Structure 1
Amino acid sequence: MSTGVSARLERISTGGRYLVVPMDHGITLGPVKGLVDLESTVGAITRGGADAVLTQKGVAPRVHPNKNGKGYIVHLNGSTAIGPDSNDKRQTGTVEEALRAGADAVSFHINVGSDHEPDQLTQLSEVTETAHRLGVPVLAMSYARGPGVDEHDAESLAHAVRIAEELGADVVKTAYSGGADSFERVCEATRLPVVIAGGSRGTDRETAEMVRGAMDAGAAGVSMGRSIFQHDDPEAITRTVSAIIHDDADVDEAVEAGGLGLEA
């Protein structure tokens, strides 16, 4: 690992643990709750303990004045929910553009098992080569998605995270398998730090239990979007997740740290 990659990884993590909040959903879903006033949401989650926020390149000017000195990741591909195939992620930026936008790292999404897997594998490989030549770390969002693929199957997820390592990524994000025992298999499949996606919003307790289970299985943190930025109190739920990731809190301690009520 080059000095540049190592130094920049420290900007998007704390002590090797990651609380990243992706907010690139404006392409996928449009101007949904939490993304209309992007500035306020970025300010809240970074005050709450997020290590980094992640967006597409175009909204970088709205991020930097509000991120309270935390890290910034630019996402390099995307698709829309209303398009013909949401698994068909197309490249939306380059590493050079991300650096011009002030990024500390870049991210790239692949869907292992989809019809678009071959092109996405090639593109991720090219992104990692360019990024490492420039000293920039790569977060690979590697999901098991496609016809007949169980998106939460531990063996499929293990394959997906291993692909990210094989193609040169520095951190890998994937779905949670649903339990700590099964997710251990996923974390054991790679030497990369593994972070989990949040998926659609659940209750505060469900979010905390998922994060606690992933950390118990050996995960290095989360890259959690809607569960945080669409919350009624993004700062509070970020504090809750941060307590688990950065302070090793249990679920009750974390919910208390966030100042949230115990939901059923």
Structure 2
Amino acid sequence: MSEYRLNRLFNADSGRLLDVAVDHGFFGEASFLNGIENMDHVISTLVDAGPDAIQLTLGQARLLQSVKGKSKPALVLRADIANIYGNPLDTHLFSHHVPNAIEEAVRLDAAAVCANLIQLPGRPEIREACVKSIMALRAEATKYGMPLMVEPLVMQDNAVAGGYMVDGDTDKIRTLVRQARELGADLIKADPTDNVEDYHRVVEVAGDIPVLVRGGGRVDDKTLLERTVAVLEQGASGIVYGRNVVQHRNPTGITRALMAVLHDSVSAEDALELVGGDEK
């Protein structure tokens, strides 16, 4: 049953989750490699920092799963790949899932798999490809009891903001989150809304499915921690942060601060003191 693996992801006391995403190299963008060039070092640092989960690709998952002992973070396996983050975009866009992703996730002892649901202006074929991938993954995930995390991505027009820029429109995010729920997501990793006070509306349309908030681009520590507190107050079940952890001057410190906010309900101000070092 998928809930057995979900029990490995969420903290037993707080019921919340910090998943650190380090799957950026899968998407073929040079800028995504900043801070994660040496994955052996990155994984070693994160394991010592102790988030609840680390999100990795098929080719990098072994770096986490080869770590000995029972206390390492759980594995979330990225199950799909797309080329929609470039600026300018490639002339041919695609989104594909790994055909045997669920079996690979079982072999790798993953606690969940993650796949995109992309809304890119003017490119409905990408959303169609994502829907097909999610339906195929859902069928296999059910068979093996593997939780499926769906990542709705509402993007701005690439000509305006670049392929990776989020459109924080609440109604657009709610609509895509609801579609993820309807497609059978066990977890939803969703965009932050421009107005954080709206986020309860995103949580509402997801129903009983836990909503995890994406981190997006790098921000200063105070902003990150305050935003984290705010989305938790709006009903989010956790966060999936990547660059704000792995590109941080002190990944261990920021992880410690985020875990305190998530699991001990520490204020943003108090959590900031746990980061350590001077802000850069």
TM-score (norm 1): 0.89
Aligned partner (choices 149, 153, 167) of residue 139 of structure 1: 149
Q: Which residue of 1 aligns with 2:36?
A: 35
User: What is the deviation of 1:18?
Assistant: 1.1
CA distance 1:18–1:150, shift in 2 (3 Å): closer
1:50 and 2:51 are equivalent in the alignment:
yes
Counterparts in 2 of 1:150 and 1:227: CA distance versus 1, 3 Å: closer
Q: Structure 1: how far apart are the matches of 2:53 and 2:239?
A: 11
What is the rounded CA distance, in whole Å, between the counterparts of 2:62 and 2:16 in structure 1? Answer: 26
Counterparts of 1:155-166 in structure 2 under 5 Å?
155-166=171-182
Distance 1:166 1:260, change over 3 A: farther
| Letter paired with 1:13 | F
Displacement, 1:251? Answer: 0.7
Tell me, in whole angstroms, the C-alpha distance in 1 between the residues paired with 2:92 and 2:51. 27
**In the alignment, which residue of structure 2 is the partner of 1:71?**
74
Contact kept? 2:21, 2:242, Cα under 8 Å: yes
Of the candidates 135, 138, 143, which is equivalent to residue 128 of structure 1? 138
1:103 aligned onto 2:102: no
| Count of aligned residue pairs for this structure pair | 260
User: What are the ranges of 5 or more consecutive residues in structure 1 without an aligned counterpart?
Assistant: none
**Partner Cα distance (2:26, 2:190) in 1:** 20
In structure 2, the gaps of 5 or more residues are: 159-164
The CA RMSD measured in Å over matched residues stands at: 2.4
Matches of 1:146 and 1:101, distance apart in 2: 35
Q: How does 1:113-192 map to 2 (within 5 A)?
A: 114-115=123-124, 116-145=126-155, 147=157, 151-191=167-207, 192=209
Which residue identity does 1:91 align to in structure 2? Answer: H
Q: Deviations over 1:21-53 (max 9, x none)?
A: 111101223472332222222232333331100
1:217-238, Cα deviation, whole Å (9 max, x unpaired): 1101101111111111111111
| Distance change (3 Å), C-alpha of 1:195 and 1:85 | farther
CA–CA distance in 1 between the matches of 2:94 and 2:272? 37
User: In structure 1, which of residues 11, 14, 21 is the aligned counterpart of residue 8 of structure 2?
Assistant: 11
Q: Distance in 1 between matches of 2:35 and 2:93?
A: 23
Corresponding residue number in structure 1 for 2:161: none
Shift of 1:129: 1.8
Q: Is the 8 A contact 1:200 1:227 kept in 2?
A: yes
For 1:199 and 1:222, how far apart are their aligned partners in 2?
Answer: 11
Question: Aligned to 1:74, what secondary structure does the other structure show?
Answer: strand
> 1:40·1:66 contact (CA, 8 Å) conserved in 2?
no
Distance 1:254 1:103 in 2: 30
Query: 2-side partners of 1:54 and 1:195: how far apart?
Result: 13
Matched position secondary structure for 1:57: coil
2:62 is matched with 61
Q: What percentage of aligned pairs have identical amino acids?
A: 25
Q: Which moved more, 1:214-223 or 1:179-188?
A: 179-188
How far residue 260 of structure 1 moved from its aligned partner, in angstroms, is 5.0
